[in-house]
Homo-oligomer: A and B are copies of this chain.
Amino acid sequence: MVDILHKVGVRTDSPQSVYEALTTIDGLSSWWTNETDGDGDQGGVVRFRFGDKGGFDMEVLEAVPAKRVRWRVADGPEEWIDTTVTFDLEQDGDHTKVLFAHRDWREPVEFMHHCSTKWASYLLSLKALVETGAGAPAPNDVKIDSWD
């Protein structure tokens, strides 16, 4: 099992705005992908789509205000099924610290390398959204390679 790990610090005085960006459809569609619908609360399912590239259905395992959001990948590319995505939030002075983990990849395949770099760019989009009001969700996301 191998994991993708990242960290960003979002300049804001409480974790509330980051938490909302991780649990509301308006928030999620403003930093990850414009094509987002469903229910981001605990027990819900959120559907993320990326045009003709497909997407992911996330079951919300945990949504603890100001603390933690954890998803299980219920549908999507075979490599992602049953992996988990966790955002742990903690206030650290004038930043909300976001510790991110996409855990339990079965093999460190090339697609995992790609997803690791994409996650970093999307987390910087989340940071920009909360700090400035504008993220860079797909299809206007940062392009990293020939897979997009």
Interface residues of A (CB under 8 A from B): 2-9, 92-95, 97, 99-100, 108, 110, 112-114, 116-117, 120-121, 123-124, 127, 142, 144-147
**What is the predominant secondary structure among interface residues of chain A facing chain B?**
mixed
Residues from chain B with Cβ under 8 Å of A95 in the complex:
145-146
CB nearest to A127 among chain B residues: B144
Q: Are B120 and A8 in contact (CB under 8 A)?
A: no
Give the oligomeric copy count: 2
Of all A-B residue pairs in the complex, the 8 with the closest CB atoms, nearest first, are A9-B145, A120-B120, A7-B113, A6-B117, A5-B113, A9-B146, A7-B114, A95-B146
CB nearest to A100 among chain B residues: B113
